[in-house]
């Protein structure tokens, strides 16, 4: 047979050579076409622009920190072609759904690769991250758009536990935390399990969910190991809440803060879109006519600033609302935070409790320092990097739920307590970042939680002991009248005869008698209280 082949090859070598060249050229063409198609279908342009269902995600993606990361790197993972081809072949069904319009809107991702196969290819969870100082600027819906500044230190944390790190927010990614979610978007988490390094398992059950250990055991296959995406779920496709988007635009001077009522009008236009995209944009255009009618002088002299504000509001609208796809800022929960969606409070709501009474802590300073608010007429805030002299009571995992019922005079040893429970930022205990907000996702008032907490203690109004007797606050050893309150700093300033601590500098004068009271021998005399 081989001999016959050699004979045939001598007689027909030109034909064989031509066939081989043809096959080679065909192979090269097929290879080039295949690589081109592979590269194109892996491109963000194909995912976002060719697929007509993706405009919301594509627009958000282009404004995200991952705008230069290919979609497939997160959705399919960074793997060899041999592994990527069969995985991608399974995703062809999405092309079929798009062609046949066999999908429901709004569209939600149904499956994602584990973050350990995607995010952690670039972001090493054991990399130590430094804490960062954040200033959040908010503007009031008043005539002058009054600014308020919220200062805090974000305890990013991270790092390897073997190096003595692994703390802060990124503690969650270097420890084993499992949870059970009862909805596709993972907004309702009734059960959490922590597996510690020594093998100890601590289980936490939402007191209000009614879930039982038996039910958890029956659904053990649904337990999910917590990873990056459980918090950073909208990192590449975020739709900002209207008021926050407007605040950000004002801070970046894309909208002029000196335009009267611009915050109020902008948020109203973005929060109440009606009809189609074109109709909503026409409503935003009407802002110019509103200024012409209500502030004719501003309209006459600040026309350019008004037009710039309108253009900025249009850009914001087109980045957070997509009427054709039924997508808006509220349709896709953002788990990074705890104001607009449950986020952190899905677990840290104060009512996920273990059988022995431990609770997943609901406490501001686990992830960041207690926010300090500053603004017009308010003193410069002081942020403590490390809590000093923290009493044992504060380490109770239920402390935040208890503290509002357990105030006494010892609190003044560390905190200013003037107008406690208020929200005018006149003291530590009148912090509007804590008390000026309705915490709809926290479980502080959960009946099940109240049942296991100690009964509220009565506020102690007794005069604290003198400093030399071991108390926190010294008594006032001289008569005190209304007129003398304003003179306290004459003797008790930072450089006075008996100087007060530096952190007292931020307290208003009227706060002096909130903590400092007359000595017993002077009780009958005229007092500021």
Cα dihedral: 444, 441, 343, 424 (round 10): -80
pLDDT at 504 over 70: no
Last residue of a domain, one of 395, 429, 452: 452
Cα–Cα distance measured from residue 521 to residue 480, given in angstroms and rounded to the nearest whole number: 13
Q: How much is the pLDDT for 505?
A: 65
**Helix, coil or strand: residue 159:** coil
Q: In this predicted model, which residue has the larger pLDDT, 519 or 146?
A: 146
Residue 447: inside a domain, yes or no? yes
Percent of the chain with pLDDT over 70: 82
- Whether residue 508 sits in one domain with residue 442: no
- Whether residue 209 sits in one domain with residue 345: yes
Q: How much is the pLDDT for 468?
A: 39
Across the range 150-179, mean pLDDT stands at: 85
Least confident span in 154-168, 282-296, 329-343, 350-364: 154-168
Q: Which of the 8 DSSP states describes residue 50?
A: I
Q: How much is the pLDDT for 84?
A: 75
Domain that holds residue 418: 163-232+336-452
Across the range 499-505, mean pLDDT stands at: 65
**Helix, coil or strand: residue 291:** helix
How does the average pLDDT of the chain come out, rounded? 82
User: Residue 257: pLDDT band by 50, 70, 90 thresholds?
Assistant: very high
Q: Which of the 8 DSSP states describes residue 166?
A: -
Q: Which of the 8 DSSP states describes residue 288?
A: H
Side-chain half-sphere CA neighbours of 507 within 13 A: 29
With a CB cutoff of 8 Å and minimum separation 6, the contacts of 54 are 47, 48
Residue 461: inside a domain, yes or no? no
Across the range 274-302, mean pLDDT stands at: 92
**Helix, coil or strand: residue 335:** coil
**Helix, coil or strand: residue 158:** strand
Across the range 137-151, mean pLDDT stands at: 93
Q: Which of 161-170, 301-310, 377-386 has the highest mean pLDDT?
A: 301-310
pLDDT at 122 over 60: yes
pLDDT at 300 over 90: yes
Note the residue count of the chain: 529
Residue 373: inside a domain, yes or no? yes
Q: In this predicted model, which residue has the larger pLDDT, 382 or 312?
A: 312
- Whether residue 413 sits in one domain with residue 280: no
First to last CA, the chain: 118
User: Residue 195: pLDDT band by 50, 70, 90 thresholds?
Assistant: very high
Q: How much is the pLDDT for 178?
A: 96
Structure tokens at 515: 């903590």
Percent of the chain with pLDDT over 90: 31
Q: Which of the 8 DSSP states describes residue 343?
A: G
**How many domains are there within the chain?**
4
Cis peptide leading into residue 106 (ω within 30°): yes
- Whether residue 114 sits in one domain with residue 9: yes
Q: How much is the pLDDT for 1?
A: 61
What are the backbone dihedrals phi and psi of residue 23, each rounded to the nearest 5 degrees, phi first? -65, -40
Residue 136: inside a domain, yes or no? no
Residue 478: inside a domain, yes or no? yes
Residue 157: inside a domain, yes or no? no
Beta strands across the sheet bearing 147-154:
132-139, 147-154, 372-374
- Whether residue 216 sits in one domain with residue 347: yes
Q: How much is the pLDDT for 48?
A: 82
- Whether residue 255 sits in one domain with residue 220: no
Cα–Cα distance measured from residue 168 to residue 360, given in angstroms and rounded to the nearest whole number: 15
Q: How much is the pLDDT for 97?
A: 76
- Whether residue 23 sits in one domain with residue 106: yes
Q: How much is the pLDDT for 52?
A: 67
Last residue of a domain, one of 402, 417, 452: 452
Q: How much is the pLDDT for 495?
A: 61
Q: How much is the pLDDT for 475?
A: 65
Pairing of strands 147-154, 132-139: antiparallel
DSSP sequence for 474-513? --B-S---HHHHTTHHHHHSTTSSSPPPGGGGGS-GGGHH
- Whether residue 6 sits in one domain with residue 116: yes
Cα–Cα distance measured from residue 91 to residue 287, given in angstroms and rounded to the nearest whole number: 45
Alpha helices (runs of H) in 151-273, residue ranges in sequence order: 171-174, 213-218, 242-251, 262-271
- Judge whether 135 and 375 are in contact, CB under 8 Å: no
User: Residue 494: pLDDT band by 50, 70, 90 thresholds?
Assistant: low
Residue 301: inside a domain, yes or no? yes
Q: How much is the pLDDT for 5?
A: 60
- Judge whether 509 and 485 are in contact, CB under 8 Å: yes
Least confident span in 21-35, 245-259, 443-457: 443-457
Q: How much is the pLDDT for 146?
A: 94
Last residue of a domain, one of 91, 121, 151: 121
Cα–Cα distance measured from residue 157 to residue 143, given in angstroms and rounded to the nearest whole number: 41
Cα–Cα distance measured from residue 4 to residue 10, given in angstroms and rounded to the nearest whole number: 10
Q: How much is the pLDDT for 374?
A: 84
Residue 458: inside a domain, yes or no? no
- Judge whether 459 and 473 are in contact, CB under 8 Å: no
Cα–Cα distance measured from residue 447 to residue 174, given in angstroms and rounded to the nearest whole number: 33
Taken in order 91, 97, 102, 108, the sign of the CA dihedral is positive
Across the range 222-236, mean pLDDT stands at: 92
Cα–Cα distance measured from residue 513 to residue 481, given in angstroms and rounded to the nearest whole number: 11
- Whether residue 445 sits in one domain with residue 412: yes
Q: How much is the pLDDT for 528?
A: 41
- Whether residue 440 sits in one domain with residue 340: yes
- Whether residue 203 sits in one domain with residue 64: no
Across the range 55-81, mean pLDDT stands at: 85
Q: How much is the pLDDT for 486?
A: 60
Report how far apart, in Å, the C-alpha atoms of 331 and of each of 234, 237, 266, 272 are. 12, 12, 21, 15
Across the range 430-444, mean pLDDT stands at: 84
CATH number for the domain harbouring residue 106: 1.10.3820.10
Q: How much is the pLDDT for 335?
A: 94
- Whether residue 411 sits in one domain with residue 363: yes
Q: How much is the pLDDT for 99?
A: 73
pLDDT at 362 over 70: yes
């Amino acid at each position: 047979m081989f001999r016959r082949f050699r004979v045939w090859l001598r007689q027909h070598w030109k034909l064989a050579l031509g066939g081989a060249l043809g096959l080679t050229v065909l192979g090269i063409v097929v290879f080039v076409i295949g690589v081109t198609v592979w590269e194109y279908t892996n491109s963000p342009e194909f995912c976002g622009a060719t697929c007509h269902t993706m405009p919301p995600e594509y627009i958000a993606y282009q404004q995200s920190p991952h705008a230069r990361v290919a979609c497939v790197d997160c959705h399919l993972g960074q793997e060899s072609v041999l592994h990527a081809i069969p995985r991608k072949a399974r995703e062809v069904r999405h092309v079929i759904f798009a062609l046949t319009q066999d999908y429901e809107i709004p569209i939600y991702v149904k499956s994602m690769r584990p973050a350990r196969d995607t995010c952690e290819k670039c972001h090493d969870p054991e990399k130590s991250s430094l804490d960062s100082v954040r200033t959040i600027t908010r503007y009031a819906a008043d005539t002058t758009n009054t600014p308020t500044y919220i200062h805090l230190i974000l305890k990013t944390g991270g790092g390897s536990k073997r190096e003595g790190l692994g703390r802060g927010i990124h503690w969650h990614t270097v420890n084993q935390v499992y949870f059970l979610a009862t909805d596709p978007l993972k907004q309702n988490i009734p059960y959490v399990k922590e597996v510690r390094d020594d093998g100890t398992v601590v289980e936490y059950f939402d007191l209000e969910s009614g879930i039982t250990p038996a039910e958890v055991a029956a659904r053990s296959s649904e337990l999910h190991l917590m990873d990056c995406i459980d918090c950073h779920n909208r990192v590449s496709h975020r739709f900002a809440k209207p008021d926050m988007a407007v605040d950000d635009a004002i801070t970046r001077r894309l909208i002029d803060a000196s335009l009267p009522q611009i915050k109020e009008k902008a948020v109203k236009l973005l929060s109440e879109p009606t009809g189609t995209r074109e109709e909503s944009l026409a409503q935003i255009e009407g802002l110019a006519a509103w200024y012409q009618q209500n502030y004719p002088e501003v309209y006459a002299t600040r026309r350019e600033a008004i037009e710039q504000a309108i253009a900025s509001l249009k850009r914001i609208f087109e980045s957070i609302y997509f009427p054709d796809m039924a997508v808006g800022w509220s349709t896709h929960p953002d788990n990074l935070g705890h104001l607009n969606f449950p986020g952190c409070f899905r677990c840290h709501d104060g009512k996920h409790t273990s059988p022995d009474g431990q609770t997943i802590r609901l406490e501001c300073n686990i992830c960041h320092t207690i926010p300090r608010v500053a603004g017009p007429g308010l003193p410069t805030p002081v942020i403590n990097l490390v809590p000093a002299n923290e009493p044992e009571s504060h380490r109770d995992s239920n402390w935040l739920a208890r503290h509002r019922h357990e105030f006494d005079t010892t609190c003044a040893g560390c905190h200013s307590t003037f107008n406690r429970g208020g929200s005018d930022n006149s003291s530590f205990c009148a912090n509007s970042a804590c008390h000026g907000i309705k915490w709809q996702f926290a479980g502080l008032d959960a009946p099940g939680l109240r049942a296991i907490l100690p009964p509220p203690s009565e506020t102690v109004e007794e005069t604290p002991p003198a400093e030399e007797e071991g108390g926190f606050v010294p008594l006032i050893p001289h008569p005190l009248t209304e007129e003398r309150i304003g003179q306290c700093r004459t003797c008790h300033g930072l450089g006075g005869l008996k100087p007060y601590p530096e952190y007292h500098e931020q307290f208003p004068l009227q706060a002096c008698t909130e903590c400092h009271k007359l000595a017993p021998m002077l009780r009958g005399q005229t007092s500021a209280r």
